[in-house]
Structures are given as structure tokens and as C-alpha cells.
């Protein structure tokens, strides 16, 4: 369990930007001690900062162990690292290298992180959140590798939830829609495209990183102590609106 009298301890990947960076800030606001991992670590307010390529399974294990030692244990973990294809490509035009890289980072990276962090979370009966996407259930044309990898993340979280619930470990995923981050800048950075996208979102705008981080932090907290195996959609109503339009 958490050290007596000490803060809860959390580990965040993809922590240098976007949702990961927002998670670090939100956790620290709630008095967590936070370890931040990223492929290219940036200046940020964290108790431990480390470098980690999530597609490198051995490297992930080493980075998690280093973070665990730096904080004296882990009570919570959020896996926010991920990539999106630079351009849309239908399946017959999707080169194997792009497929392999996206699956390696998004899906194998989630496996590597989950595998590495579980022993620490078992010790503390902690919680883990993996970041998936609504693309996993409602893919857009030209994004097969991304959609398949994110569908796998949701399934991985559910499988882990089943396997570790009896040990007191909770595992959930979140599935965002459009988020106003660098990853979405190619689309949201064009005013006409942004207007079209946001017109389809019932909430009327793309999410901020903080919108998604707040849900992740809630899932990691004791307020969500009876929630495991869930996938929380954070998309401003986009997915359900798309389903309604098809019916």
C-alpha cells in the first residue's frame, strides 16, 4: 500500500506533451508524487523524469523499474504514449513499415508497459489506465493500422482487468475522440477542416488534453475504486452521434 504518511505515487508515459503532460500536471495538483516518461523528455514539473521508447520491451521494463525505485513504489499508472499515421492510406497502399511501427508503439507498447508495471501495482493494489481511441470501434477510412492498434489496447485493458482484479488491481481504458494536440494538428490546424470536424461533435469542440486527463485521473483515484475493465469514451458525444446518423 501507499507509504504511511506519504503521497500516492504515479507513473505517466507520453508525459512530455498532450494528454500525458496534462496527466502529470493534474496528478501533481492532487499531491501525487509523479514519474514522467517520454521518448524525448522535456522540462516539466515531475519527481522523476526518464527516457523511454515504449516499443522497446526491455527498455520499458528498465524505465519502469527506475521510476518505481525513484518514487519508492507505484500506486497508479497512466499509459498515454502513442502515435498516429502521418497520412491516411487505404490498406492496399499501407506499407508494412508503417503498419509495424504503429502497432509496435500503440499496441506492443501498451503490452510492454502493462507487463512492466503490474508487479508494482500488485504490491499496492493500484490502478492502471491505458489510452485507446474511439477509432478502435469506429475507424475512419485510411487509418486501419491506428484503428486496429487502438482496438487491441481496449481488449488488452479488459483482459488485464479480468486477470488481476482478484489481486486488487484495477485496469481501465479511455477512448478519446478528437483532441487538440500536436498529433491532431494536421487536421485541426486547418480552419476549414476544424470547422467541419467540430460541427460533427455534439459538444461543439475538440477536447483539450485536460478534458481527457481529468477522466484518467478519476479512474486512477479511489473515487473509481469499483470500476475495472471499463472503456470510458471521452469524445464530446461524437461516437454516439455517428451511430445515430447511421440508424
For the question of residue 146 being annotated catalytic, the response is yes
**Strand-strand pairing, 231-234 and 76-79:** unpaired
Question: How far from the centroid of its chain's Cα atoms is residue 206's Cα?
Answer: 17
At 126-185, the pLDDT tens digits run 999 999 999 999 888 888 999 999 999 999 999 999 999 999 999 999 999 878 877 776
Question: Is 46 within 8 Å of 28 (Cβ atoms)?
Answer: yes
At 86-139, the pLDDT tens digits run 788 898 999 999 999 999 999 999 999 999 999 999 999 999 999 999 999 988
Sheet of 48-51, strands arranged across: 48-51, 33-38, 9-13, 76-79, 127-131, 170-176, 231-234
84 pLDDT band (50/70/90 cuts)?
A: confident
Average pLDDT on 233-237 reads 93
- The pLDDT of residue 1 is 44
Who wins on pLDDT, 118 or 236? 118
What's the mean per-residue pLDDT of the chain? 91
Check residue 162 and report its DSSP letter. H
Question: Is 47 within 8 Å of 8 (Cβ atoms)?
Answer: no
Per the DSSP assignment, residues forming a β-bridge with 170 are 127
- CA nearest to 154, candidates 139, 134, 140, 170: 134
Identified catalytic residue from 32, 111, 146, 164: 146
Q: How many CA atoms lie within 13 A of 55 on its CB side?
A: 11
Least confident of 59-63, 81-85, 183-187, 194-198: 183-187
Check residue 2 and report its DSSP letter. P
Question: Is 5 within 8 Å of 195 (Cβ atoms)?
Answer: no
Amino acid at each position: 500500500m501507499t507509504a504511511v504518511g506519504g503521497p500516492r505515487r504515479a507513473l505517466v508515459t507520453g508525459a512530455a506533451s498532450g494528454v500525458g503532460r496534462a496527466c502529470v500536471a493534474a496528478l501533481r495538483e492532487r499531491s501525487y508524487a509523479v514519474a514522467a516518461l517520454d521518448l524525448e523528455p522535456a522540462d516539466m514539473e515531475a519527481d522523476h523524469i526518464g527516457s523511454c521508447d515504449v516499443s522497446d520491451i526491455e527498455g520499458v521494463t528498465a524505465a519502469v523499474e527506475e521510476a518505481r525505485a525513484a518514487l519508492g513504489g507505484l500506486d497508479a499508472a497512466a499509459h498515454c504514449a502513442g502515435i498516429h499515421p502521418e497520412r491516411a492510406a487505404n490498406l492496399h497502399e499501407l506499407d508494412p513499415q508503417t503498419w509495424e511501427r504503429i502497432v509496435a508503439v500503440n499496441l506492443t507498447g501498451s503490452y510492454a508497459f502493462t507487463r512492466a508495471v503490474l508487479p508494482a501495482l500488485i504490491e499496492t493494489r493500484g490502478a492502471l489506465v491505458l489510452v485507446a481511441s474511439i477509432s478502435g470501434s469506429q475507424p475512419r477510412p485510411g487509418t486501419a493500422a491506428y484503428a486496429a492498434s487502438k482496438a487491441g489496447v481496449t481488449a488488452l485493458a479488459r483482459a488485464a482487468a479480468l486477470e488481476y482484479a482478484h489481486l486488487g488491481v484495477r485496469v481501465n481504458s479511455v477512448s478519446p475522440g478528437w483532441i487538440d494536440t500536436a498529433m491532431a494538428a494536421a487536421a485541426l490546424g486547418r480552419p476549414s477542416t476544424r470547422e467541419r470536424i467540430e460541427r460533427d461533435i455534439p459538444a461543439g469542440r475538440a477536447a483539450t488534453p485536460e478534458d481527457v486527463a481529468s477522466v484518467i485521473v478519476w479512474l486512477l483515484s479511489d473515487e473509481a475504486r469499483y470500476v475495472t475493465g471499463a472503456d470510458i469514451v471521452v469524445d464530446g458525444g461524437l461516437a454516439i452521434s455517428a451511430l445515430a446518423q447511421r440508424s
